[in-house]
Structure 1
Amino acid sequence: MKTFDRVEKAFYTSIILSGIILAIGIVFLQTRLLQVQSEMAKVNQEISQKQVEINDAKQAANELLRSARLMEIAEKAGLSFNNDNIGVAE
């Protein structure tokens, strides 16, 4: 059986250490990638929720601006409804 000299031992030890460090690095990067993907999913969910809230608010604003609704409010307040006095704000 052949024995290894110092140079061979150092070479093989460096290969083994490099493999271990590489494996640890890969595990770390995959873990970090999963964390980032999880955070992205949360942000996308929040964006979707805010978009739904915006759409609901637009729907409510449109509902309040309908002519029939405005006439109803004017009549309840004892006012007359005049379309010429209505302006659209954007």
Structure 2
Amino acid sequence: MPNESKREVLTQALQKRIRTFTRIEKAFYGAIVITAIFMAISIIYLQSRNMQVQQEIIRLNSDISGAQTDLNDAKQEVNELSRYERIAKIAKDAGLSIQNDNIQNVELE
């Protein structure tokens, strides 16, 4: 019995204390809860924005890779078109003679 009365007194004291938060305590705890909610929403927003930026970076890198491939293909085509044998064949077919002094090498950057 004495344990039950102590427990009952303790329970009543806790209930009384919980019911009688001052306005400052309520404002403090409310501010903590609002801050926690705001931070959770901010973290979710920042993570989603980070994912969007990463996807944009991946897309841009893909575009750059495609452009680099196109550039390499163009360089290869220029090299193939400017080969000496090809130029000599075209000149011969057109009835022209080749003068080695007039041939220049094209350098691609």
Residue 36 (structure 2) aligns with: 19
Cα deviations across residues 64-89 of structure 1 (Å, max 9, x unaligned)? 11111111110111111221111234
Alpha-carbon distance in structure 2 between the residues aligned to 1:79 and 1:11:
95
Q: Percent identity?
A: 49
Flag the structure with larger Rg: 2
What stretches of structure 1 move > 3 A for 4+ residues in a row?
Answer: none
TM-score (norm: length of structure 1):
0.94
Is 1:77 paired with 2:94?
yes
Residue 56 (structure 1) aligns with: 73
Is 1:39 paired with 2:39?
no
Alpha-carbon distance in structure 1 between the residues aligned to 2:24 and 2:50:
38
Q: Structure 2: where are the runs of 5+ without partners? A: 1-14
Query: Pairwise CA RMSD of aligned residues?
Result: 1.0
Q: How many residues align?
A: 90
For CA contacts below 8 A with separation 6 or more, give which structure has more relative contact order.
2
Alpha-carbon distance in structure 1 between the residues aligned to 2:100 and 2:64:
38
Q: Structure 1: where are the runs of 5+ without partners? A: none
